[in-house]
């Protein structure tokens, strides 16, 4: 199948995508083979409120890219839909005249219900499409809910499509929606009110902080007549060249480099508790107070890992409250990983419940974040690494 896929066989592609979506036997192997091919498409996220004309815009982008001889895939994501596999969307695109064109691949995806399933699933499907040699993948989302914003984060560049007279003003968009945009598209810009939408976007931008110097540009389009679509694609290319953001790595299956780093044990007093561990043959090699956690730590190396004793410096601290509620005992398990920042971002995107709001620096300069027990089977899990 991988051979047929790599040769661009669209029937093999459709089957491979289903295999990966359904997680059948052999799917992991297939994904591994796809990644090994090392092929990359530009992944363009297209998001925005319902009624913004995203579907028409996507169809126009497909037509324009096809006109240049590019092979284009569309992954339409609707977390609220119980349907998957593309029947409804396929009909839509067939009506737009791409039927029988092997240079266009269309797939719709719905929420699988599993935690983090959607973002991971979309990423995997994109990997398979890339293996089939498609140059561009348009990832279209139906609305601007939390799932859609997470999915938009999987793209290399994300378009936020707005229209005049949305009913709601730009200001009313939920937090996190504006931030996802690398490019703002004012669609249906032939309608009165386009100036006002653009002015509101610019006003919002003036308020926000922007990293790395890429100020999201505003592009006007009229998708129904394809006006501005060529320019939009040129701006997409410029945005990609500016290389604003690294693609999120959602590959949680990479087991290489994972190892048990330490066991964190909450104690009332390190001085009192360490005696037993010294009797066991361990030795405290490092003690440090981590101010922002209000905890004193002692590290006792044990083979490739360590015991970490944790003593609160204040009653009203994480460890202090743990002791009050549960008494002394195992507080957390720490696993050493590679790609800590990517994992934080990917887990956040996948809907994993995190117990840290960012990657932090703790004892010994180690970088870490915590995953909430609700997502790990009841164990507070610390991920540490570079």
Q: Which residues bind Zn ion (CB under 5 A)?
A: 264, 308, 334, 382
Nearer CB in complex with Zn ion: 116/362:
362
CB 305, min distance to Zn ion, A: 11
CB 385, min distance to Zn ion, A: 12
Write the CB contacts of 38 (distance below 8 Å, at least 6 apart in sequence). none
Residue-by-residue DSSP string for 307-324: EEEEEESSTTSHHHHHHH
Write the CB contacts of 130 (distance below 8 Å, at least 6 apart in sequence). 34, 37, 39, 40, 41, 137
CA 85 to chain centre: 22
**Nearest CA among 310, 204, 335, 315 for reference residue 260:** 335
**Beta carbons of 332 and 346 less than 8 angstroms apart:** no
Nearer CB in complex with Zn ion: 82/365:
365
Nearer CB in complex with Zn ion: 148/261:
261
Query: Which tokens in the block code for residue 196?
Result: 């006002």
CB 264, min distance to Zn ion, A: 4
CB 366, min distance to Zn ion, A: 8
CB 370, min distance to Zn ion, A: 9
Query: Which tokens in the block code for residue 152?
Result: 């938009």
Nearer CB in complex with Zn ion: 130/308:
308
Nearer CB in complex with Zn ion: 39/367:
367
**Nearest CA among 33, 229, 276, 22 for reference residue 132:** 33
Beta bridge partners of 286: 299
Nearer CB in complex with Zn ion: 11/286:
286
- Closest residue by beta carbon to Zn ion: 264
CB 341, min distance to Zn ion, A: 18
């Amino acid at each position: 199948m991988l051979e047929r896929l790599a040769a661009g066989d669209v029937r093999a592609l459709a089957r491979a995508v289903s295999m990966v979506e359904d997680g059948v036997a052999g799917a992991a192997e297939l994904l591994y083979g796809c990644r090994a091919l090392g092929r990359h498409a530009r992944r363009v996220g297209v998001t925005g409120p319902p009624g913004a004309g995203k579907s028409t815009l996507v169809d126009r982008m497909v037509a324009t890219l096809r006109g240049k001889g590019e092979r284009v895939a569309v992954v339409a994501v609707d977390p609220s839909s119980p349907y998957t596999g593309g029947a409804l969307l396929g009909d839509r695109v067939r009506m737009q005249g791409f039927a029988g064109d092997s240079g266009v691949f269309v797939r719709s995806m719905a929420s699988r219900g599993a935690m983090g399933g959607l973002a991971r699933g979309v990423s995997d499907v994109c990997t398979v499409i890339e293996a089939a040699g498609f140059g561009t993948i348009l990832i279209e989302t139906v609305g601007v809910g939390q799932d859609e914003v997470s999915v938009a984060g999987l793209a290399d560049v994300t378009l936020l499509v707005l229209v005049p007279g949305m009913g709601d003003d730009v200001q009313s968009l939920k937090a996190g929606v504006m931030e996802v945009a690398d490019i703002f598209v004012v669609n249906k810009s032939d309608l009165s009110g386009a100036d006002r939408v653009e002015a509101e976007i610019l006003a919002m931008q003036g308020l926000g902080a922007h990293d790395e110097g890429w100020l999201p540009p505003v592009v006007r389009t009229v998708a129904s007549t394809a006006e501005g679509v060529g320019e939009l694609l040129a701006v997409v290319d410029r945005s990609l060249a500016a290389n604003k953001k690294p693609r999120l790595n959602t590959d949680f299956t990479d087991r290489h480099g994972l190892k048990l780093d330490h066991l964190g044990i909450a104690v009332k007093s390190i001085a009192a508790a360490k005696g037993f561990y010294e009797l066991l043959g361990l030795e405290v090699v490092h003690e440090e107070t981590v101010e922002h956690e209000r905890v004193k730590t002692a590290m006792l190396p044990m083979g490739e890992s360590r015991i970490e004793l944790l003593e609160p410096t204040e009653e009203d601290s994480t460890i202090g409250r743990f002791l009050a509620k549960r008494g002394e005992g195992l507080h957390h398990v720490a696993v050493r990983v590679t790609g800590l920042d990517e994992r934080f971002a990917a887990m956040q995107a996948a809907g994993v419940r995190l117990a840290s709001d960012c990657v932090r620096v703790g004892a010994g300069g180690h970088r870490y974040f915590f995953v909430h027990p609700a997502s790990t089977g009841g164990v507070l899990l610390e991920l540490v690494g570079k």
